[in-house]
Amino acid sequence: MAGKWQLRDREAERALFSSRLFVASVVCLILFIVLLINLFNLQVIQHEYFSSRADGNRLHSQYVAPSRGLIYDSSGALLADNQPIFNLTVVREQVPDLDAALTLVGELIDLSMEDLTNFKTRSERNRVPFASVPLRYVLTEEEKARIAVNGHLLSGFSIESQFVRHYPFGKLNAHSLGYVAEINQSELDDFDEARRESYGGSNHIGKTGIERTYEELLHGQVGYEIVEKNNRGQVMRRLDRTDPVAGADLTLFLQNQLQATASRALGGKRGAVVAIEPSTGGILAMISEPGFDPNLFVTGIGRAEYAQLVTDEINTPLFDRSTNPYPPASTVKPFIGLGGLALGVIDKDFTIDDPGYFHLPGVSYRWNDYTMRTAIGGGHGLTDLRKAIYQSCDTFFYDLGNRMGIEKIHDFMSLFGFGRSLALDIPYARTGVLPSRDWKSQARSEPWYPGDTINSSIGQGYMWATPLQLATATAILANRGGVVAPRMLKAIDGVIYSPSTEESVSPLKIGEDHLSYVEDAMTMVVHRPFSDVFRDYGTAFEAIAMTDPEMEYKIAGKSGSAQVVGIAQEILQSSDIDTSDLNKDHALFIAYGPAQHPTIDPQIAVAVFVENGEHGSSVAGPIAKAVIDEYLLDILSIDFASIDDSLAEELSQR
């Protein structure tokens, strides 16, 4: 060992090592320089690029949904507001095993197959990474607690609060207000780019009624915020925010109190009530019964509940009876009568001797007076227009209709909004049918027969009108021929909304004496009492004026009982209901009040429709009276006993 050491050349070894270390140092230095060059490339040359990449990592722009405008009734009652609900939401990226987690959630809370399929569609629609997708809406307190307790097993699941539409009065306003519900795929497909953008933060959209008509006003403008998110998608900071603009608050002409009264008066019968303020066309009440709870649709109605609503073919709660047409029957008589006078076809002295039926010249077919069906037979005897109205004499109108011809009937009735929709903001309202030669040749490819005119002149046959149209026509009558367009919206954000109507609403050129004559006749419908004279009372006297001898004001009205046509075969075969009920006539009544008052103009015009109600005067009449009473006496608080000029002034100013 020692020998080896002796042989070593220490200086040579040191020199060798030194040279090797030198080479190593140079290599190290070169490598450090390479490192620095690479860093220079990343941090100086490509700095801009990587900065934007870093911002792209952490900065996310997200939508902030605007809060939906509120809807008030005319007296300030809140008809639609927004209330917080708690939803169970899922961030898919954060759930390690979705199926297992969903199974666990299913054990904790009630989770239906629909919730799961809806969740699947929602998460496919929602392509933004780390976005939370609702799984179950409206958790109860207990469900919230169960989820919270098991929170550690449910990473990626969270409970989020959200404001959704709420309708405090539930089914009462279901058809007129409509409802909002989750935006569906076909609606999304119809959106243009701007609309898609503005609904980026919204889950809901108005589907029916006011909610749909004024969707643009109610929705508001979407806001944005820039948030910083971490690697797990959690929002760490909010950096910039453009506040959303809340939707406009709408005030409707609707009187919730009147809605409630109308609903109560209908008393569970199927039907509709529409009430209009004649001076403005403002819709004071518009209900269709039976209704449905619109709140069910907001958070996604269950399949079973929906099936129940849809399969009820007799009550059809989703069907809006107020804007769908029925045969108007005798309620058209005042208009046709007025037409006869106004067009000079007849005059006030024109009289027929009614045998109880009508023959077209040279035709053997007998048109019976339907109002006589249940009575003892025979006719009304000597009958002028006034009597023909308050006694609802069919024979007179068969004759008058035959004299006028269908074209005159069509043209005159059209002025009152039959066969078209005068409504400004009820686009879904049907127009019914106001038949004419042209209409029949186009719609049915058949010629017009003289008998068709006879049927039409008592509001049967081809003639169809919606309760809304009847109320509108009545309002025009009450307005002394001043045409008004029915409308729901009274004010936007508290500012009175005055629509500019393209169509001229010039008053109809009808002589004042003719109008007074018809008003007189219609007032007699309600107020002409029984007397010794055979068949000389108002058809609605017994049901309206007689029940309220203290009545302080007068109502002008007209009853109608429409023959039921076209009941679906499956309904007739259904064992659920006595089919004879479905064959009963529809009961109708139109009215306005106060009528013939020296100082106060008519304040309300009403149309009542009761499906299979059988008698217009006795079934629909009292409902109309209840609604008019409520409006005049309770809502407007008119004290007819001590009326003074200032009140009359105030009412005419409204």
Partner 1 sequence: MIAKDFVRQAKDPFGYSSQNVNWWNALHIDPPLLISVLLLCGFGLFVLFSASGNDLDTVRRQAFTMFLGLVVMFSVAQLPASSFRRWTPSIYFFGIGLLIVVLLIGIETNGAKSWLALPGLPSFQPSELMKFVVPMSVAWHLGSRPIPPKFRHVFWSCVIIALPSLLVVLQNDMGTALMIIMSGVFVILLAGVKWKLVIASIFAVILASPAWYLFVALPHQKNRILTFFDPYRDPTGAGYNIIQSQIAIGSGGVYGKGYGNGAQSHLDFIPESNTDFIMAVLAEEFGLLGVAVLIFLYLSVLIRAGYISLRARDSFGRLLAGSISLVFFLYIFVNMAMVSGLLPVIGLPLPLVSRGGTSVVTLFIGFGLLMSVHTHSKTVVI
Catalytic residue ranges: 330
Q: In this complex, which beta carbon is closest to partner 1, that of residue 230 or of residue 579?
A: 230
Among 291, 313, 332, 569, residue whose Cα is nearest residue 432 = 332
Question: What's the closest the beta carbon of residue 91 comes to partner 1, in angstroms?
Answer: 15
| Three-point CA angle 503, 504, 506, nearest 5° | 145
**How many residues are there in the chain?**
654
Question: What's the closest the beta carbon of residue 231 comes to partner 1, in angstroms?
Answer: 4
Question: Residue 290, preceding bond cis, omega within 30 degrees?
Answer: yes
| Phi-psi category of residue 248: left, alpha or beta, with phi > 0 → left and psi -120 to 50 → alpha | beta
Question: What's the closest the beta carbon of residue 41 comes to partner 1, in angstroms?
Answer: 9
Contact call for residues 273 and 286 (beta carbons, < 8 A): yes
Q: In this complex, which beta carbon is closest to partner 1, that of residue 236 or of residue 382?
A: 236
Q: In this complex, which beta carbon is closest to partner 1, that of residue 28 or of residue 363?
A: 28
**Burial class of residue 642, CB neighbours in 10 A (0-12, 13-18, 19+):** exposed
- Binding region for partner 1 (CB under 8 A): 4-5, 7-9, 13-14, 16-18, 20-21, 24-25, 28, 31-32, 34-36, 38-40, 42-44, 46-47, 49-51, 53-54, 57-58, 228-232, 236
Q: In this complex, which beta carbon is closest to partner 1, that of residue 24 or of residue 443?
A: 24
Q: In this complex, which beta carbon is closest to partner 1, that of residue 121 or of residue 230?
A: 230
Q: In this complex, which beta carbon is closest to partner 1, that of residue 17 or of residue 530?
A: 17
Q: What is the DSSP string of 581-630?
A: HHTSPEEEEEEEES-S-SSPPP-EEEEEEETT---IIIIIHHHHHHHHHI
Terminal CA-to-CA distance of the chain, rounded, Å?
126
Helix (H) or strand (E) holding 235: strand 235-242
Q: Which residues pair with 224 in a beta bridge?
A: 63, 242
Q: In this complex, which beta carbon is closest to partner 1, that of residue 4 or of residue 152?
A: 4
CA distances from 436 to 56, 414, 473, 543 (A): 67, 11, 19, 35
Locate 10 and state its tokens: 């220490």
Question: What's the closest the beta carbon of residue 4 comes to partner 1, in angstroms?
Answer: 7
Alpha-carbon span 534 to 537, nearest angstrom: 8
Contact call for residues 370 and 333 (beta carbons, < 8 A): no
- Classified as helix, coil or strand, 83 is strand
